[in-house]
Chain A
Amino acid sequence: MKIKLFVNFLFVVFFLNANAQEFKLGKVSIKELEEKACPNDTTASAAVLFNKAKTFFKYDIKFGFSIVTENSYRIKIYKKDGLSWANYKLPYRTGYDKLNDDRVEFSDGVTYNIENGKIVKTKLNREGVFKTAINKNWKEATITMPNVKAGSIIEFKYILISENIVEFPDFIFQYNIPVNSSEYDVDIPGFFVYKGVVKRPSEIISESKVTRGSLQFANEYTVNKTESVSFEQQSNRHRAYYIPALKEEPFVDNIENYRISIQHELEKTQFYQEPVKDYSTTWEGVAKTIYLDKDFGKELKERDYITQDLARILKNVNSQTERLDVIFKFVQNKMNWNHKKGYYTDKGVKQAYIDGTGNVAEINFILIVMLNYAGIPTNPVLLSTLDNGVPIFPNRTIFNYVIAATEIDGKQILLDATNKYATNNILPTYTLNWTGRLLREDGTSEIIKLEPKFLSKKGVNMIVSIGENGALSGKFRVLRTDFEAFTFREKYEGMNQQNYLEKVENDFPGIQITDYNIENSKEASKPVIENFNFTIDNQCEIIGDKIYINPQLFLAETKNPFVQEKREFPIYFGYPAQEKFNVNIEIPKGYAVESIPKAIKLQIRENVVSFIFNAVILNNTIQIAIVKESNKQLVSSGFYNDLKSFFQQMIDKQNEKIILKKI
């Protein structure tokens, strides 16, 4: 056992060394400059030849610790399309409460070209370096490299210094262009413990060992005298070679989930002769630290401001279910979200309550406090929205949103009062991202699955008759539940009805709508139902003495959404959904059915998607019943080919014609 470990270790070291080519800025070769295309990806417009970075600590007697990140790049521009890589933007934080602004310094910027067989260098001067204050929390440093054309190689380096030691800047191994070599070294003094979270860890080689480290800093009392402390430190080496370009694909939850990268978050500090300070190691640690923050725990205890209103709205409301309903609607109506995310309050719940506006924490904390006060135990659930990535390991910094969780009769109910159309367990779709973490005041916590477990439904009923020249007229009814209803309301509620109908008429060219009405457009807990009458004149094809007509009429899908030849990443559906279509077509006088499409049932493994098609003739009508289900939120890329052919077969079936013949 011991031996095996040793061998493993040796192997890793050997492996690292074997690949380790010495990368230094300034040593550009003619061969690199003459290269016309990236050998591993001839389509690449540019490639990172190497990227080498390290992060380490610095100490200052006045300002304490700061994190220093040095990052250098050598980039080859192969094609004109790659010229945009000659501009580099680095955003950095400013306007901290108690810390100094981050600082950025660019250096060693050089463009290399080959002219008459010789290497010509052009240096990046001050005129090509810019700093812009984007807003009060962010600045941006930009460089624009001189004399760059297709074939050039550029090099530059920057140093980013931050007193914010809670997290390191993310290190990115993978870009939208290929990377030949990427090295990232981290030295962490023993009195800090950081958790490193790697996205797609199988793609990088990491090695970790304990070394001696030291820090020099100016003596507090004597000018020109430096002090030095030495200590054990954790030295981590991360390597990745020949990383392909990251390419966008449709139906991906968030492409950044698949970009190879590493994040570091502070776990604990353990200074000499001081107790260990735990920041996050476990979910319990995470819960505790978050609760300790004044903008979280204290804000959740504050309750004076709500008592009066609560007593008023709960008068004569007794059952738990009704109380929850009344409180949720009250907060949802009263509070208006300023579209700021986060799980800490900003101006505080009290002020937010007075203003009627607030960030997500303020609004949902008000909800949580009110529910608790009304005797319905409710806790906050931290989560990460889709655009923010996936929370896998216990850490604080991945979360960016908070909702409320409660239970009535043993059934879990998730709530988000920031959205006017949300209701019990129907949350804005960007929150349906892996798992959230429920935090209790006592420091315990629990995983909450955010993937909806029920089918959101859309049901369409049509009764159609065929007129003389093939024009159709009929009645249309569509009912939407849960997330189908939610997304519908989000899009169209509040839209002028004229404009909405114009939009529907343009979605289905040729249709004309009359007698439109909508039920429950505002009552989020009920299904939303639309009814209208329609005529449409381009759905029947009359060829000779026959009428050809699509069983699903204008609702037939015609385009396979899955057109890629190769699939890299998992496929994201959003939420499980069911669509039902019942279409009754009256057979016109003087015609008989020549043929109708045959019944079919399609399904792929694990019932990810299914499709059932039935058509029967009953008296003088053709009755079509279609049920289409997608049962998962996210499936692996291994399902791609099955999905693609499923959709192909389904669309083929939807476009098979009913043929009527004159008698």
Chain B
Amino acid sequence: MNFKLVSFVFFFSISLLSAQKSEYTSLLIPDSLKQNANAVVRLDQIDILISSQRNMNVKNKRVVTVLNEKGQEAINAYEHYNKKTTVENIQATVFDAFGNEIKKIKRKDFRDQCATDGGTVFSDSRYIFLDYTPTQYPFTIIYESEIETSTTAFIPQWFPLNDYQLSVEKSILNVSYPDNLGFKKMEFNFANFKINKTVDSSTKLSYIATNIPALKQEDYSPAYSVLPKVMMCLELFHLEGVDGTAKSWKEYGQWYSDKFLTGTTELPEETKTKIKNLVGQEKDPIKKAAIVYKYLQEKSRYVSIQVGIGGWKPMLANDVDRLGYGDCKALSNYTRALLNAVDVPSYVTLLYGDRDKHDIQSDFVSMQGNHMILSIPNGDNYVFLECTSQDNPFGYQANFTDDRTVLVVKPDGGEIVRTKNYENKGNAQSSKGNYSLVENGDFSGNIEIVSQGSQYSQKYRLETTQPTEREKHYKEYWDNINNLKINKTTFSNDKDKISFTENTAISAVNYGIVSNNKMIFVVNAFNQTSGVIKRIRNRKNPFEIQRGSYDTDEIAVALPTGFTIESLPTTFELNTKFGEYKTEIIQKDNNNLIYKRSIFIKKGIYKNTEYDEFRLFMEQISRNDNAKIILNKNQ
């Protein structure tokens, strides 16, 4: 009996020990989680403890089995810190596929690096990260960290699944908070995932997500609406030594104005006089603003310096005036000061600057955004100014701040508005030109291309860019023409109309391929559809065309003498929910043709099942863009 008991104890303790180690062996992962996955998150537990308005503690335990080399970034073993945020603990342990420990990594073995990117001159933000060289796959890593911060304005967002090609066995969020700070949360994209809210009280919130298989990244997926997330915030929060309240956007705007903008717009008398003289007798506020904007663009440049509160509070307008540089906040606020001097009201505006249209979540009052622009009231609307750009036309926003909700910060409160939408047919490119071919297939042509709307932004820099870059642009734009020579280019940039015109003369040898008394060439020389739409097996996500576009071409084609037409492409027309496409050839006489082409792509969000239809539409266009003319040499 006694003996048995001992052996039982012995057995028990052994199993306990090995259980601890084998809990995360790579061998136990179900196949459903391995499919399409480079790594599996076995457990990701985040415990957020908000003890007061000025104190937050975040603990993270993340257990990841890395299946192959590409799965390494799923480890996510890094923490940011600065003067207000300290890393209390950071460590990791590595296990082999059987759950045997192979390495312990202590804090001193993590690397410490400043968090500036190339465009930033200075930032006091740093991060500690793990630089681990795996010795085998698969392996499992347990990462543990704890940070302590006085900044409660940003509660980490919870992403139960934070990447593609990554599956999750279990992900847990536990938040606790005093009931008097106005804790709020908002859930996004939960529909297709197994996520349970386990606690939701006045002081505690918990979620658990289990068995999420890996997703594949799919082109044209709508931005920010695939992966699940929870946003959280406090109505009473703290940021860099400043307490804040935000129950509504109005209140938030007031707080932002009071704490960060008050007293920042003073300017030297000299500058005020200068700007008044520049504006002169002009009365119209928008026209005044255009003069001020031009002055700003001549005088300043974008330099990013982020130190402490300076990450939120704009540099004083006086300093920007003296130094001639600043970040988006500094330059927007400086422009506000200049406009103030000529009695034009304007408001700094918070938003996400991004090619993808990224909204400020308007029904969730909290600190959001990564960029600042300036809004000037214009009747019921606003004109928005990008103050970091030295060459944008006045009020131009396409492809970075267009068509999204933003927060206009007024002294009496914040207001959510939507920025300018660059509509379908307004994003136009119209080409008019001609080309001719001679007997040996050599090509020469002239073309005028006018770009407007969002297409303007893809072109207007050609004017100032280096000749080598310009040549590169055209050789890519017309990469369907081999042996291309750019003989001449001239540009005109009409910033008032937001219209950019290129006039180009080009030539190329052997554009028409001559063999066996025939010449074959593609009639659409000047505007081939770019971008093949990828075939995606079993597409899961809906897809989005973020901005529409409208191209029209009218090209006169002169055929070589001594040839007769064997075949001409027929008129081709497509009319679908995604857009319209039409080409036709008008034969003027034996040697002269007019080629007309129009392509209109509509903005829109479509179902996953419609993707193949869209791909087919684009494929037909691309095929017809390659339609050829065949000529016979006269014998």
Q: Which residues of A contact B (CB under 8 A)?
A: 43, 45, 79-81, 83, 86-87, 122, 127-128, 130, 132-136, 142, 144, 146-150, 247, 336-339, 355-357, 494, 496, 498, 502, 505-506, 509-510, 538, 541, 543-544, 548, 558-560, 563-565, 594-595, 597-598, 648, 651-652, 655-657, 659
B322 at interface by CB-CB < 8 Å: yes
Compute how far the CA of A144 lies from the CA of B70 in the bound complex, rounded to whole angstroms.
Answer: 39
Chain B positions within 8 Å of A560 at CB level? 482-483
Which listed residue (B111, B134, B466, B475) contacts A336, Cβ 8 A? B134
B603 at interface by CB-CB < 8 Å: no
Compute how far the CA of A563 lies from the CA of B485 in the bound complex, rounded to whole angstroms.
Answer: 9
Given contacts A132-B116, A148-B325, whether A563 and B135 have CB atoms under 8 Å apart is no
Surface stretch bound by A, among B254-262, B508-516, B546-554: B508-516
B497 at interface by CB-CB < 8 Å: no
Compute how far the CA of A149 lies from the CA of B623 in the bound complex, rounded to whole angstroms.
Answer: 49
Closest CB of chain B to A175's CB: distance in Å?
A: 14
A135:B112 contact, CB within 8 angstroms: yes
Compute how far the CA of A558 lies from the CA of B510 in the bound complex, rounded to whole angstroms.
Answer: 13
B423 at interface by CB-CB < 8 Å: no
B324:A149 contact, CB within 8 angstroms: yes
B623:A565 contact, CB within 8 angstroms: no
Closest CB of chain A to B604's CB: distance in Å?
A: 23
Compute how far the CA of A505 lies from the CA of B466 in the bound complex, rounded to whole angstroms.
Answer: 37
A597:B482 contact, CB within 8 angstroms: no
Closest CB of chain A to B314's CB: distance in Å?
A: 15
B21-56 contacts to A (CB < 8 Å): 36
Chain B positions within 8 Å of A541 at CB level? 628
Compute how far the CA of A132 lies from the CA of B114 in the bound complex, rounded to whole angstroms.
Answer: 7
B325:A43 contact, CB within 8 angstroms: no
6 nearest A-B pairs in the assembled complex, by CB-CB distance: A356-B135, A130-B122, A338-B133, A147-B324, A595-B516, A357-B133
B303:A87 contact, CB within 8 angstroms: yes
A146:B510 contact, CB within 8 angstroms: no
B515:A597 contact, CB within 8 angstroms: yes
Closest CB of chain B to A561's CB: distance in Å?
A: 11
A502:B534 contact, CB within 8 angstroms: yes
Which listed residue (A563, A597, A651) contacts B475, Cβ 8 A? A563
Chain A positions within 8 Å of B630 at CB level? 543
Chain A positions within 8 Å of B134 at CB level? 336
B628:A83 contact, CB within 8 angstroms: no
Closest CB of chain A to B518's CB: distance in Å?
A: 8
Chain B positions within 8 Å of A597 at CB level? 515
Given contacts A148-B325, A336-B133, A657-B520, whether A595 and B114 have CB atoms under 8 Å apart is no
Interface residues on B, range: 35 or more
B467 at interface by CB-CB < 8 Å: yes
Closest CB of chain A to B301's CB: distance in Å?
A: 4
Closest CB of chain B to A329's CB: distance in Å?
A: 16
10 A-B pairs whose Cβ atoms sit less than 8 Å apart in the complex: A43-B467, A132-B116, A247-B466, A355-B135, A494-B68, A502-B534, A541-B628, A565-B471, A657-B520, A659-B518
Q: A134-B113, A149-B298 are in contact. List 20 more A-B contacts (CB 8 A).
A: A43-B466, A122-B322, A122-B323, A127-B319, A132-B122, A133-B114, A135-B113, A146-B325, A337-B133, A338-B133, A356-B135, A357-B135, A498-B537, A502-B534, A509-B532, A560-B483, A563-B475, A648-B483, A656-B515, A657-B520
A502:B537 contact, CB within 8 angstroms: yes
Chain B positions within 8 Å of A538 at CB level? 623
B580 at interface by CB-CB < 8 Å: no
Given contacts A80-B464, A148-B301, A648-B509, whether A136 and B112 have CB atoms under 8 Å apart is yes
B619 at interface by CB-CB < 8 Å: yes
Q: Which residues of B contact A (CB under 8 A)?
A: 36, 68-70, 103, 111-114, 116, 121-123, 131, 133-136, 298-301, 303, 305, 319, 322-325, 390-391, 464-468, 471-472, 475, 479, 482-485, 509-510, 513, 515-516, 518, 520, 532, 534-537, 566-567, 619, 622-623, 628, 630
Compute how far the CA of A121 lies from the CA of B462 in the bound complex, rounded to whole angstroms.
Answer: 33
A80:B390 contact, CB within 8 angstroms: yes
B324:A657 contact, CB within 8 angstroms: no
Compute how far the CA of A594 lies from the CA of B628 in the bound complex, rounded to whole angstroms.
Answer: 18
Chain A positions within 8 Å of B534 at CB level? 502, 506
Which listed residue (B111, B122, B322, B465) contacts A142, Cβ 8 A? B122
Chain B positions within 8 Å of A122 at CB level? 322-324
Closest CB of chain A to B225's CB: distance in Å?
A: 23
A548:B520 contact, CB within 8 angstroms: yes
B121:A130 contact, CB within 8 angstroms: yes
Chain A positions within 8 Å of B464 at CB level? 79-81
Compute how far the CA of A548 lies from the CA of B301 in the bound complex, rounded to whole angstroms.
Answer: 57
A657:B113 contact, CB within 8 angstroms: no
Which listed residue (A86, A136, A656, A659) contacts B301, Cβ 8 A? A86
B325:A336 contact, CB within 8 angstroms: no
A559:B479 contact, CB within 8 angstroms: yes
Chain A positions within 8 Å of B68 at CB level? 494
B303:A506 contact, CB within 8 angstroms: no
> Which residue from chain A places its CB closest to the CB of B321 in the assembled complex?
A147
Chain B positions within 8 Å of A149 at CB level? 298-301, 324
Chain B positions within 8 Å of A127 at CB level? 319, 323
Closest CB of chain B to A560's CB: distance in Å?
A: 5
Given contacts A81-B464, A357-B135, whether A134 and B516 have CB atoms under 8 Å apart is no
B113:A565 contact, CB within 8 angstroms: no
B121:A543 contact, CB within 8 angstroms: no
Closest CB of chain B to A470's CB: distance in Å?
A: 12
Given contacts A336-B133, A355-B135, A502-B537, whether A509 and B122 have CB atoms under 8 Å apart is no
Chain A positions within 8 Å of B518 at CB level? 659
Compute how far the CA of A338 lies from the CA of B103 in the bound complex, rounded to whole angstroms.
Answer: 15
Which listed residue (B36, B472, B513) contacts A657, Cβ 8 A? B513
